[in-house]
Amino acid sequence: MLKMLDCEIRTDEEYSKKLRQDIKKDILVGMIGLAAVVGGIFNLFAEGSMNSSFLGGLFCGTGFAIIIFAIKSLLKTRKQLKDDKFRREERLKLSDERNRFIGMRSLSLAGIITMGLCYIGMLISGFFSRAVFWTFWGIIIFYSVTTCILRAYLEKRL
């Protein structure tokens, strides 16, 4: 979905160029995943508590997921660079205006729903835990400020 939103491509040449850049991005993402796994393994073997075991598991799990995602994306990109028909199909899927509209709408609705749930969570958590309350509060404020900044920026640009 993020690739779709990022895609302002009109021709096959532009798309091929973007795919070659994507290979570098995929490798970078894979390296980040690998770093997370290594960090997780260190955490697992570190002396101590359940907390380090939890963090180790979390780092390893997310790291592996990122590595798998990067490898999958890399293989798909390479296939696209070799196969013209497949590349065109994928380009059309990414640049299709309806797909992009659906992507933008889904992200915007997901943001609104998340904020609504965060607000409810903030109200309820206030009775039990201040830490959770401030976390929800922080998310809501960050989202609102980011929205205002982006709106001001886009109003100037468009």
Partner 1 sequence: MKNKIHELRKTQRITQSELADAVEVTRQTIISLENGKYNASLILAHKIAQYFGVTIEEIFIFDLKEENV
Cβ-proximal residues to 32 (8 Å cutoff; 6+ apart), any chain: 66
Closer of 96 and 135 to partner 1 (Cβ): 96
Closer of 82 and 98 to partner 1 (Cβ): 98
Give the interface with partner 1 as residue ranges (CB under 8 A): 92-93, 95-99, 101
Burial track 132-155 (b if 16+ CB lie within 10 A, e otherwise):
ebeebbebbeeeeeeeeeeeeeee
- The position carrying tokens 């509060």 is 137
CB of 158 to partner 1, least distance (A): 15
**For residue 116, which phi and psi values (nearest 5 degrees)?**
-60, -45
Closer of 73 and 95 to partner 1 (Cβ): 95
